[in-house]
Amino acid sequence: MALAARVGRWLWPRRCALADRLGSRPWPPLLTPSRAGFAGLASSRQGRPRLLGTVAVALGGTLGLYHTVRWHLRAQDLRAELSAAQLSLSSHLQLTLYQYKTCPFCSKVRAFLDFHALPYQVVEVNPVRRAEIKFSSYRKVPILVAQEGDSSQQLNDSSVIISALKTHLVSGQPLEEIVTYYPPMKALNDQGKEVTEFCNKYWLMLNEQEAQRMYDSKEARTEEMKWRQWADDWLVHLISPNVYRTPGEALASFDYIVHEGKFGAVEGAMAKYVGAAAMYLISKRLKSRHHLQDDVREDLYEAANKWVAAVGKDRPFMGGQKPNLADLAVYGVLRVMEGLKAFDDMMQHTRIQPWYLRVEKAIAEAPTAP
């Protein structure tokens, strides 16, 4: 049973361990006279006022055209900076992601890499033997290895991976230097077990100019960090209790695990049947540990609607016209439930579907990396 529980936890474990593609900013409208202005011109009996009005119209249109061209050229500059950064990363670094496919933390990293059109290779880790990551003293996934020539850099923890790569894309700092900004620290969790935590993991290491280019305001930066942490500290803990809520749902979840994961024949059979039973029981403890409601679906629904309310009605994403790191984190966590009853119920009983489909579309439309 202990082995089955270990196998089961890998689906949604408690701790798996350029700026966003910059499109054009909204162009300011051309400055045009009002209808009242035209009427005034038409009613004028004097040639000079009519001439002055015409000059004002022309001047207003010229100013509008100037600002339009200015914004257009600025947008082109930003897109050029992004392309150059992506080209540098994809040309000099070979990225390899060690993962469990159905792990929400791994899914977060894939969402980030795909949205930013960064090419990478995937190594699916066997959740029992974990031989694929025997090179690492850090024994959780995701692990990202960035190879550059004869040297390589290992990045651990999903949020550190995302923050470090984003910092590199925006600032161009070497990854080797950036990783030192996120030092690991030993800490005790709620159960008294020693775990590894990483300092500053939701913070992008940017100078003031880079931060201004990245964010519209300090509040936008703080908001992104807050909701990235919410995805890790709360949303992810709703996954296991919901996908293992009933024996039938637990069995369906493990059928998905075996299909998508890397198991041998015996391991797969154990995961599907013994593991499903074990995780059904463990999910009850998780519900108690995280103080969830008797019907854990209600917690999932509340979280989904809370996120939608935070995004608001006036913007398609929390990042505005494009997903930011918080959008990608929440999407990545929820995506691992696709195909399961919990996901279908969430889509039916909350307001999250339009936002979710917009993020899905934005990732699917990411340009091919140079």
**Cα-to-chain-centroid distance, residue 35:** 47
Q: Which of 16, 98, 106, 244 is catalytic?
A: 106
Q: Quick check: is 106 catalytic?
A: yes
The Cα angle at residue 142 between residues 130 and 369, in degrees rounded to 5: 125
Is 308:44 a contact under the CB 8 Å cutoff? no
Q: Which of 16, 38, 66, 103 is catalytic?
A: 103
CA–CA separation, 43 vs 324, rounded Å? 52
- Alpha-carbon span 298 to 342, nearest angstrom: 11
Query: Which residue among 105, 120, 215, 244 is the active-site one?
Result: 105
- 79 touches 22 (CB < 8 A): yes
Is the CB of residue 201 less than 8 Å from the CB of residue 163?
Answer: yes
d(CA 356, CA 335) in angstroms, rounded, equals: 9
Annotation marks residue 103 as catalytic: yes
The residue count of the chain comes to 370
Q: Which of 100, 202, 280, 331 is catalytic?
A: 100
Facing residues of 162 across strands? none
- Rounded to whole angstroms, how far apart are CA atoms 100 and 23? 33
DSSP letter at 29 equals: P
For residues 359 and 327, give the distance between their C-alpha atoms in angstroms, rounded to a whole number. 7
Tokens 């900004």 found at: 181
Return the number of other C-beta atoms located less than 10 Å from residue 289's C-beta: 13
Beta-strand pair 94-99/120-124: parallel
Q: Whole-angstrom Cα distance, residue 32 to residue 34? A: 7
Show which residues are catalytic. 100, 103, 105-106
